[in-house]
Amino acid sequence: MHNKIILITGANAGIGKSTVKGLAQEGAKVIMACRKKEKGDLAKAEIERHYPKAKLEVIECNLASFHSVKNAASQILQSYEHIDVLINNAGLFSSHKKMTEDGVEMQFGVNHLGHFLLTKLLLPLIEKSSYPKIINVSSVAHLHGTIDFDNLKDGKTPYNGLEAYAQSKLANVLFTRGLARKYPNIASHCLHPGVVNTSFGNKYSKWYLSLFWHFWKIFMLSSEQGAATSIHLATSDRLPKGKALFFDEKQKMRSFSDMAKNDILVKKLWDYSEQLIEEV
């Protein structure tokens, strides 16, 4: 992985930080895209204490803000000639309905739409790599997801956080399949990292969900185990191009849901996502 340039979102904590550690050990140059630069700098310093030869750079990128995503992409486009691997890792879960600053339901906005915009903006650099890859961190929760296009912006129906999360993870898979079809020269794949012992289920959850998450942490994977599949895909030289695959935490291929296999839905989500990012 020497001379390889990898960009990962959500790089300052949890699975993202463990992924950075693993890739740094492999000798890759890692661009750490973080919601807050201060937290990214702290994570960078911590990693460098353990791995002094790590090649890291922090870029501020708030996926809940199109403005922030565009600024981050602009910095990267000016600083780098190519990107070998883009890992769209950042994500959140919320029990309560929140909206991004651009007026989109928060889980859909961060987990899918911010990554959709970032990827589109960085495609010119990704396509310059000799073996380009886009890796989207999804979840088996996509198996229960549907896309409610009527409520992604200013929805009026009662909010269910788990359904919104499953919807955003389905969007990750549909986006991956869209990338594979539109850009067959790029190895575009997605994965389920496993249920990982992080604060993911505590931050924005109702008290009983947070309590459940807390007590089940003893049975969950470590962040290092959760990062293993992302590292495996980023470093593999055997990933196919032009056909999206879905991997689990054991690096085995899994089946997509029937909804995720729907080519009409792939196109509809892509077109709708483009419409949303162009409105602002």
C-alpha angle 39-49-71 in degrees, rounded to nearest 5: 35
Edge-to-edge strand list for the sheet holding 29-34: 55-60, 29-34, 5-9, 85-88, 133-137, 187-191, 246-247, 253-254
> Which residue among the candidates 80, 165, 204, 272 is catalytic per the annotation?
165
Cα of first residue to Cα of last residue in the chain, in angstroms, is 37
Residue 165 is among the residues annotated as catalytic for this protein: yes
Would you please indicate which residues are annotated as catalytic (active-site) residues? 165
